């Protein structure tokens, strides 16, 4: 597939000076609209003594307060809508793991902008209207299914709304319909690769060329596994319900960072503890301001996702800034005996070993007021041996690697293949029993 074409050439290759001018223009319009139409925003700005006219440059964005998930909950369900109710044509919701769900509302133009951004992502993966796109993200309130679907249809590709689940049928569809592009979570992609082998097929029985995987953290090593298992090139797609759903950002064929569509979003990176904006290139929490959204614009929304911006021009020609693969979320970060631990660090260690399957679960417990971390790891079929000593050695080796990377002692429990539950959507990697107490 040709990855050198663009869906929206003018926008995707727009010189940075023009792109910044466009951002400022759209930012000013957005601020004026939310100030006039959304009392919650107006109050927030007035509390700070700010009016939309005070924002004269992109740097002035810093004058505005942050918005957090808490604000979205406080204004649940419709308090941040910035258009008359009759203009909202769809809502999506994010369940989250804690607290009340949040609702996002979209106008017809928003749905169209979203589909346009998603079409850009698909073309960035080499798809065109001859592509056959299987959407195996869940359809419904979750944005994955309908989001990917909208882009594939806009592109004119043959769109297969498989949704998630029913894994054997998924494989049959992939094979029988000659699907070229698969959209699903990376953990489900891995599960599909496993199921493919179990059904007696190989990647040669499929016609897959590209995969559009996101909605949960994953690592470079996991990408390599998926690519080998399904015989495709795997792209990382990012998004969140509050902003748009999939297609806020995606990797191009250079596979070195995700292009954030900057004609629709302004990205900042802040220190999650102090809220201070960090210089370009430093790692911190991603903050997004939407500048091309009518239904529910978000100003300086704290995503809780940890990444850094890559300002250098990309070889693919697109001028939109990139962000690095997400390192985790501020609220995913486990603090165990004072040490910060991200599930992605554990995944990297396991996959580097070459001996553990990428199926694992992290269990955190508190015994006698001390936190303990246990990593349950599935061994691969070929490693599963009756030789108890061999298994013991493997367990010790993994434990030593984890100890040194994490900087804390942990326990390793090796479990038999296929004993850790597979997920058809977002994988549940962490069981924090401390929170359950």
Stretch that binds ligand DLL, among 22-30, 65-73, 220-228, 238-246 (CB under 6 A): 238-246
What is the nearest approach in angstroms of ligand DLL to the Cβ of residue 329? Answer: 5
Q: Does 94 bind ligand DLL (CB under 6 A)?
A: yes
Q: Does 216 bind ligand DLL (CB under 6 A)?
A: yes
User: 176 exposed, middle or buried (CB, 10 Å; 0-12, 13-18, 19+)?
Assistant: exposed
Relative orientation angle of helices 39-47 and 16-37, to the nearest 10 degrees = 100
Q: Does 150 bind ligand DLL (CB under 6 A)?
A: no
What is the nearest approach in angstroms of ligand DLL to the Cβ of residue 146? Answer: 10
167 by DSSP, 3-state: which?
helix
Stretch that binds ligand DLL, among 75-83, 109-117, 187-195, 230-238 (CB under 6 A): 230-238
Q: For residue 407, what are its two tokens?
A: 């900087």
127 by DSSP, 3-state: which?
coil
What is the nearest approach in angstroms of ligand DLL to the Cβ of residue 142? Answer: 6
* CB 64, CB 291: distance < 8 Å: no
Q: Does 257 bind ligand DLL (CB under 6 A)?
A: no
Contacting residue, 55, 240, 288, 351, with ligand DLL by CB under 6 A? 240
Q: How many CA atoms lie within 13 A of 257 on its CB side?
A: 21
Instruction: Give the total of residues touching ligand DLL (CB under 6 A).
Output: 21
Contacting residue, 52, 144, 211, 358, with ligand DLL by CB under 6 A? 144
341 by DSSP, 3-state: which?
strand
Contacting residue, 136, 143, 253, 292, with ligand DLL by CB under 6 A? 143
What is the nearest approach in angstroms of ligand DLL to the Cβ of residue 189? Answer: 12
DSSP readout, 18-56? HHHHHHHHHHHHHHHHHHHH-HHHHHHHHHTT--GGG--
Q: Does 424 bind ligand DLL (CB under 6 A)?
A: no
User: 151 exposed, middle or buried (CB, 10 Å; 0-12, 13-18, 19+)?
Assistant: buried
Contacting residue, 217, 257, 295, 297, with ligand DLL by CB under 6 A? 217
How far apart CA 306 and CA 324 sit, in angstroms, is 9
Stretch that binds ligand DLL, among 9-17, 231-239, 315-323, 400-408 (CB under 6 A): 231-239
Q: Does 215 bind ligand DLL (CB under 6 A)?
A: yes
Sign of torsion, CA 157 163 165 166? negative
Q: Does 246 bind ligand DLL (CB under 6 A)?
A: yes
Residues 267-326 that bind ligand DLL (CB under 6 A): 303, 305, 326
Q: Does 236 bind ligand DLL (CB under 6 A)?
A: yes
**Nearest residue to 27 via CA among 292, 354, 310:** 292
How far apart CA 193 and CA 225 sit, in angstroms, is 9
Contacting residue, 214, 231, 257, 358, with ligand DLL by CB under 6 A? 214
In degrees and rounded to multiples of 5, residue 326 shows phi and psi of -65, 140
Contacting residue, 245, 257, 272, 343, with ligand DLL by CB under 6 A? 245
Residues binding ligand DLL (CB under 6 A):
94, 137, 142-144, 214-217, 236-241, 245-246, 303, 305, 326, 329
């Amino acid at each position: 597939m040709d990855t050198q074409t663009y869906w929206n050439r003018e926008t995707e290759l727009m010189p940075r000076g023009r792109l910044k001018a466009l951002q400022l223009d759209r930012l000013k319009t957005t601020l004026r609209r939310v100030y006039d139409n959304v009392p919650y925003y107006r109050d927030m700005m007035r509390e700070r003594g700010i009016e939309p006219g005070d924002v004269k440059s992109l740097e002035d964005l810093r004058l505005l307060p942050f918005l957090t998930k808490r604000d979205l909950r406080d204004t649940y369900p419709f308090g941040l809508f910035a258009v008359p109710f009759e203009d909202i044509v769809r809502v999506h919701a994010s369940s989250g793991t804690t607290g009340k769900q949040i609702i996002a509302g979209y106008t017809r133009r928003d749905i169209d902008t979203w589909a346009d951004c998603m079409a850009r992502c698909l073309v960035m993966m080499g798809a065109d209207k001859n592509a056959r796109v299987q959407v195996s993200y869940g359809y419904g309130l979750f944005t994955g299914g309908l989001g990917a679907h909208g882009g594939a249809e806009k592109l004119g590709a043959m769109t297969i709304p498989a949704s998630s689940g029913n894994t054997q049928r998924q494989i049959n569809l992939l094979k029988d319909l000659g699907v070229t592009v698969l959209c699903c979570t990376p953990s489900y992609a891995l599960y599909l690769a496993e199921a493919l082998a179990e059904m007696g097929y190989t990647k040669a029985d499929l016609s897959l060329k590209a995969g559009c995987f996101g909605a949960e953290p994953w690592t470079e090593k996991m990408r390599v596994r998926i690519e080998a298992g399904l015989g495709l090139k795997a792209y990382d797609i990012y998004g969140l319900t509050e902003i748009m759903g999939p297609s806020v950002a995606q990797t191009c064929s250079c596979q070195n960072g995700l292009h954030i569509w900057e004609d629709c979003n302004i990205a900042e990176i802040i220190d999650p503890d102090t809220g201070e904006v960090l210089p370009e290139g430093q790692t911190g929490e991603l903050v997004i301001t939407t500048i091309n959204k009518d239904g529910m614009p978000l100003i300086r929304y704290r995503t809780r996702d940890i990444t850094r911006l890559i300002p250098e021009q990309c070889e693919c020609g697109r001028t939109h800034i990139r962000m690095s693969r997400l390192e985790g979320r501020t609220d995913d970060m486990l603090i165990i005996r004072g040490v910060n631990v991200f599930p992605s660090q554990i995944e990297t260690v396991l996959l580097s070993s070459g001996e553990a399957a990428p199926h694992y679960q992290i269990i955190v417990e508190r015994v006698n007021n001390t936190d303990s971390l246990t990593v349950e790891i599935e061994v691969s079929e070929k490693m599963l041996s009756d030789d108890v000593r061999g298994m013991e050695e493997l367990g010790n080796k993994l434990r030593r690697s984890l100890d040194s990377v994490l900087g804390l002692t942990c326990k390793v429990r090796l479990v038999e293949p296929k004993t850790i539950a597979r997920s058809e959507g977002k994988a549940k990697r962490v069981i924090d029993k401390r929170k359950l107490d």
